[in-house]
Amino acid sequence: MILNDSFSSVGGSPTLSTEIEAVRGMLQSVGKVAVFTGAGMSAESGIPTFRGDGGLWRGRRPEEWATPQAFMQSPEEVREFYQWRRGIVEEAQPHAGHLALGKWSSGDSHHVEIVTQNVDGLHQRSGCSRVWELHGSLWSQHCHDCGTQESDLEKTHCPCGGRLRPSVVWFGEGLPSGVWAESERAMRESELILVIGTSAVVYPAAGLVGMAAREGIPIVEINPEPALDSQTVCITGPAAKVLPILLA
């Protein structure tokens, strides 16, 4: 079922469509909610998805820098690439949808856990506290040799002598087992799932949505265009517009 986010205005203030009222009713009838987000959520804050025609960095597509092979061959250039990415994120601001989700998730009415494919930390900056980052974080690094974590992004080497690398999941690498287990638990235990800003085609992360659908958990998709085959309801529209109304 596809429900369009048709808004009207009374006295200059947006009002809810009948359809979005129905989804609000679904949310109000449950206690545990998982929110699964992807690159589209951050794109509304101006952060490139790196999967479209986003241009090149030093003559190569950004995906080409996000590999263990690139790090082994050109560690300093990979480091500079991630410094560039952090600069983009630092200039970006959480949009209205992020802020609405942060306020709602920190309230007492629901137990909300965020499972995100994004590495930018915008959910945390918006006030979300229970966030599982499937693909890691731009804001931490670890030793390529021994795995020791390091929060100081200015450091380049571990005490063991190994190089420090961004704590993000590169192409060809597996997801962190602990984060994966917690994300799977959060999805399984939820009574309803919001899927926002993702087409859920990047595996293995996308498998969490399919798993939830097979177990009969209601799924509300919020995307500019319908992208899932397994949703219970789809609200078409940008998260920055839909979430402040839906979660008010």
2-4 and 8-10 as β-strands: parallel, antiparallel, unpaired? unpaired
Q: For the domain bounded by 1-47+94-134+175-248, which CATH number is listed?
A: 3.40.50.1220
Q: For residue 72, what are the contacts with CB-CB under 8 A and spacing of at least 6?
A: none
> What is the set of active-site residues?
135
Nearest to 187 by CA among 206, 163, 160, 169: 206
Q: Which two tokens stand for residue 147?
A: 């795995």
What is the number of H-type helices and E-type strands within the chain? 10, 12
Whether a cis peptide bond, with omega within 30° of 0, leads into 176 is: no
CA distances from 172 to 142, 180, 245 (A): 18, 16, 39
Residue 10: the pLDDT is 31
Q: Is residue 206 within 8 Å of residue 193, measured between CB atoms?
A: no
Domain ranges for the chain, please list them: 1-47+94-134+175-248, 48-91+138-168
How many angstroms separate the CA atoms of 103 and 127, rounded? 7
Residue 9: the pLDDT is 34
Give the three-state DSSP class for 10. strand
- 131 phi and psi angles, rounded to 5 deg: -125, 125
pLDDT string in tens for the chain (248-residue length): 544 444 433 333 344 576 788 889 999 899 999 999 999 999 999 998 765 555 556 667 777 889 999 999 999 999 999 999 999 999 999 999 999 999 999 988 899 999 999 999 999 999 999 999 999 999 999 999 999 999 999 999 999 999 999 999 999 899 999 999 999 999 999 999 999 999 888 889 989 999 999 999 999 999 998 888 877 888 999 999 999 999 98
To the question of domain 48-91+138-168 being in CATH 3.30.1600.10, the answer is: yes
- Residue 248, burial from CB neighbour count under 10 angstroms (0-12, 13-18, 19+): exposed
Q: Which two tokens stand for residue 203?
A: 């595996």
